[in-house]
Amino acid sequence: MNYRIRKYFLILPAFALLFGVTACDSDDNDEDLSDSEAFVGNWTVASVSDTNGAADLSSDFNSIVARFNASGDGSITVDAIDDTNDAAVDFTYSVNETANTIVLNISIPGVGTIPLSMGYSISSDGDTVTFTINQQNAVLINSLFGTALEGAVTMTVVRS
């Protein structure tokens, strides 16, 4: 009888270890995040291109950072080389994961709210997003950032 009890006491720690190891899955696993959840955080513009190829924004901007909050709102902060051209705009956003599109409803003081619709693709590690902006919506990008991008625009942002 003592042999049976001893045998179960030897097996019990093995099961506890097995369940403990499998239960300790990483919380950083982005595979379980929806696209809406994956957008939450700060994103810095890494590159921009238009129909003419890569656009060099480094002569005009130190950084362009977008912050997406879990509550469905956020802001874009533009740090221009010339501090008088620094800007910040607020927005709300909605994600259509089926169509891989995101709409930013950008609040522009004195103008109102303007929707900016973009296609997106998220990298497998979740740290890079590529936005595709059609020619019509690229006009809004030009007015927001004071750029002269032509045609459709591709913008790559990285988590910061």
What is the mean predicted confidence (pLDDT) over 74-99?
A: 93
Which of these, 52, 44, 20, 64, lies nearest to 150 by C-alpha position? 52
- pLDDT above 70 as % of the chain: 81
Domains of the chain: 30-159 (2.40.128.20)
Q: What is the pLDDT of residue 31?
A: 60
Q: What is the pLDDT of residue 18?
A: 43
Q: pLDDT for 19-45, tens place per residue?
A: 444 444 444 544 678 999 999 999 999
* pLDDT for 157 beyond 60: yes
The pLDDT-based confidence of 85 (bands split at 50, 70, 90) is confident
Residue 124 burial (CB count, 10 A): 8
What is the mean predicted confidence (pLDDT) over 92-103?
A: 97
Q: What is the DSSP string of 95-132?
A: EETTTTEEEEEEEETTTEEEEEEEEEEE-TTSSEEEEE
Q: What is the pLDDT of residue 109?
A: 79
Q: pLDDT for 130-142, tens place per residue?
A: 999 999 888 888 8
* pLDDT for 99 beyond 90: yes
Q: pLDDT for 2-25, tens place per residue?
A: 444 443 344 444 444 444 444 444
Q: What is the pLDDT of residue 4?
A: 45
Q: pLDDT for 48-78, tens place per residue?
A: 999 999 998 888 899 999 999 999 999 999 9
Q: Are the beta carbons of 122 and 35 closer than 8 angstroms?
A: yes
The amino acid at residue 109 is P
